[in-house]
A and B are shown apart, each in its own frame.
Chain A
Amino acid sequence: MAQAPFTNDIKTLRFLAGEMTQGDLGDKVGVTRQTIAAIEQGKYSPSLEVAFRIAHVFGKPLEEVFRWQAD
């Protein structure tokens, strides 16, 4: 599968948030640990709602978590 045309800093943000696990983040967002892993690796593009929820958990605006990198 083609990688998503954007990168994300979820892994770093998790680390900075007290080494939060993928499972913990998944619980807060309402998705499985495997879905968080797939998003982190750029294998799955989350819906806008899940993207906002992730950003909300870290208290960051969306563009600080996800960055467009195509072109």
Chain B
Amino acid sequence: MMSFREKIHWVAFLSLILGFGWYFMSYPWAVANTRGGMLTAVWMLIPTTIIFLVPMVAGTVWFTIRTPKEANLKEDEREKTIHLKGTHAAYYPLVLGIWANIFALINGLSYGWSVNILMATLVLAELIRVGSQLYLYRRGY
């Protein structure tokens, strides 16, 4: 059976896919290279945050009510190591994303693209962080 933290990681992983999946599928890419493209990206962050947060909060509350004892447990040494390894893995997509953004700015792409590249970088890094932690939870370490 999964631990409380593993369940919460699954909720975070699926919420990320849901929230930012909607964002990247709905974003009007044709206007990305304009000021309007940037403002649209900023505006779309509001519903994206809601789509992300609602299942995240609901899932956390649900699992906390079902297993309150586990929810109150502190991270043990194995979980701390899994946490650190996941964060380490997420560093690489962050670096790649920053380089992609620098490349985009040097080549004259506007803020709309820049915002989207940064957002994609963050989402990818989070997916890799949470995904690798889920993998390590399943593998044992």
Chain A interface (Cβ within 8 Å of chain B)?
1, 30-35, 37-38, 41, 43-47, 50
Contacts and interface: CB of A to CB of B under 8 A. Distances in A.
Nearest to A4: B141
Contacts of A44: 78, 140-141
Interface of B: 2-3, 6, 70, 73, 76-79, 137, 139-141
B73 A32 contact: yes
A31 B78 contact: yes
Counting from the closest, the 5 A-B pairs by CB-CB distance are: A43-B140, A38-B140, A31-B76, A44-B141, A35-B78
A32 B76 CA distance: 7
18 contacts: A1-B140, A30-B76, A31-B77, A31-B78, A32-B70, A32-B79, A33-B3, A34-B2, A34-B3, A34-B78, A35-B78, A35-B79, A37-B140, A38-B140, A41-B140, A43-B139, A44-B140, A46-B78
B139 A1 contact: yes
B77 A46 contact: yes
Contacts of A1: 139-141
Nearest to B137: A34
Given A31-B76, A32-B79, A38 B3 contact: no
Contacts of A46: 77-78
A47 to B, nearest CB: 6
Contacts of B6: 34
A35 to B, nearest CB: 4
